[in-house]
Amino acid sequence: MASIIRMPEVLAGATEGVLSNWLVSEGSEIAVGDVLAEIETEKATVEYQAEEAGVVARILINPGDAADVGTPIAIFTLAGEGEAEIAQALADAGVTENTKPVATAAKSEVASATATPSAPTVASTSPQAQEPDSAGGRLFVSPLVRKMAKDKGIDLSGVSGSGPGGRIVRADFDAFVAGGGQAIAVSSTSAAPAAPQSAASSASAGYVDIPHTGMRKAIARRLTESKSSVPHFYLSADCRVDKLLAARKEVNEAKGIKISVNDWVVKAVALALMDVPDANVIWSDDAMRRFDSADIAIAVATEGGLFTPVIRGVDRLSLIEINTLIVDAAARARSGKIKQEEIEGGSFAVTNLGMYGTKEFSAIINPPQSGILAVGAASAQAVVENGQVVVAQVMTVTLSADHRAVDGALAAQWLQAFQNHIESPLGMLI
């Protein structure tokens, strides 16, 4: 019989998602594993893959619509099934059969659209949510925009909708705010809305307010919680990397590849966790969880914020394999193609700002991970060697550790193990 496809919990703990873009259309034949849509949560935009085969019979929400986890978003049918099975599936899901326009462009690309009768509307999510305007008419607003407007106290009566049927979508809201749309004071009784600030006055003020994305809010919340609830402490070390730079050059020239310094760093981090297994842990209120392998999160900067895809079993991988996995994960993170399982887990993280010339910095731990290594740029420095002052390439690294899981002496042991590996790079080739 026809089956209901529901908004998935694409990230653990997520209660809702925004369907950024449908990658299929009604009538498409789908196999297990085919990508159906891109779904945005406060943490990431991920691809949603089909868990069953069939034909897309109905699309129930538009691109840009928000929906709670578990809300029906589409109907699949099998060969031979028709309207009767679709109607039964709709009834079972509590969906009212009527007509609504289906947006065909992603929220960021909507410029104009023509309303055409198509899929039924999910009553519980009200994809064409209505609100009264100041003239007593009705506004057609996506749930996401309605929530954002409520959070920011913005009157939507002055916003022009470019979505199907004049519906106000995310792109309209962002443009309105960036153009000087003004928040209004919301009270329990009706009040006249404040006049919107003109774009000219906003420009003359010398600033532009850029609305926070859901992911940016999530990053801010998680880092604030981490800094306030996790007892951080920091250890730094200066690592001689002359041998590493020479080995890297020789390997890259011999193999015709481009293994980065960061690939060597990630490998050294993993080997140090194997050398000091008591540091390869995460804290919980009930127990300390110690891992048998090194799963390392790699900080990747994107336009939307910081992603941390996790590379699994780094201790068992070659430098070439590490490089391939990091490059692939970083590319998909920047294009919004990262998957749920790729940004969860790990006991340790690496963040590298050396490519920007940053000499030294400290980083905030991303719970439940117990440590993060901040890597600066290698630079020529004067060092004393056998009583003589010589010039060496030195890279400063700073370990941020969770004192609940890793105490000072243990952190020092781990950092020493890391330094031994990074300063003896040939051992990492074996």
pLDDT tens per residue across span 325-377:
999 999 888 887 777 678 888 999 999 999 999 999 999 998 889 999 999 99
Which pair of tokens denotes residue 226?
Answer: 């981490």
Give whole-number Cα distances, 191 to 129, 139, 404, in Å. Answer: 22, 18, 52
Q: Is 403 a catalytic residue?
A: yes
| Tens digits of residue pLDDT in 374-405 | 999 999 999 998 899 999 999 999 999 999 99
Closest by Cα among 193, 189, 162 to 175: 162
Q: What's the pLDDT at 122? A: 35
Note whether residue 24 is domain-resident.
yes
Query: For residues 378 and 240, what is the distance between their CA atoms, to the nearest angstrom?
Result: 9
Task: Provide the residue count of the chain.
Answer: 430
Residues 242 and 388 in one domain: yes
Q: Are residues 26 and 172 in the same domain?
A: no
- Co-location of 328 and 423 in the same domain: yes
- SS3 category, 403: coil
Core vs surface per residue 400-416: b (16+ CB within 10 A) or e:
bbbeebbeeeebbbbbe
In-domain check, residue 236: yes
SS3 127: coil
**Residues 182-235: tens digit of each pLDDT:** 544 333 333 444 444 444 445 567 888 888 876 677 778 888 989 999 999 999
Is the bond leading into 367 cis (omega within 30 degrees of zero)?
Answer: no
**What pLDDT shows up at residue 196?**
44
76/134 same-domain check? no
Lowest mean pLDDT among 165-169, 262-266, 397-401: 165-169
178, 287: one domain: no
Name the domain boundary from 190, 211, 232.
211
Does 122 fall in a domain?
no
Q: Residue 276 pLDDT more than 50?
A: yes
User: Are 359 and 329 within one domain?
Assistant: yes
Domain check: are 84 and 164 in the same one?
no
What percentage of the chain has pLDDT greater than the value 70?
77
- Indicate if 200 and 220 belong to the same structural domain: no
pTM of the model: 0.62
The torsion angles phi and psi of 264, rounded to 5 degrees, stand at -65, -40
Min mean pLDDT across 91-95, 230-234, 247-251, 272-276 is at 91-95
Which of the residues 212, 232, 403, 421 is marked catalytic?
A: 403
- For residue 22, what are the domain limits? 3-93
pLDDT of residue 179: 72
Q: Are residues 229 and 343 in the same domain?
A: yes
Q: What is the pLDDT of residue 259?
A: 93
Does residue 257 fall inside a structural domain?
A: yes
Q: What's 62's domain CATH number?
A: 2.40.50.100
| Domain CATH number, residue 173 | 4.10.320.10
Question: Do the domain assignments include residue 120?
Answer: no
Token duo for residue 99: 């007509």
Strands (E), 256-405: 281-283, 288-290, 296-298, 300-302, 305-307, 310-311, 348-352, 371-385, 388-402
What pLDDT is stored for residue 198 in this prediction? 42
Residue 87 counted as domain residue = yes
Q: Tokens 């009270």 identify what position?
A: 187
Number of domains in the chain: 3
Q: What is the mean pLDDT of residues 318-323?
A: 95
- 332 and 249 co-located in one domain: yes
Is 305 part of a structural domain of the chain?
yes
φ, ψ dihedrals at 298, nearest 5°: -115, 120
Instruction: Label residue 125 by pLDDT band (50, 70, 90).
Output: very low
Residue 118 lies in a domain: no
Same domain, 7 and 39: yes
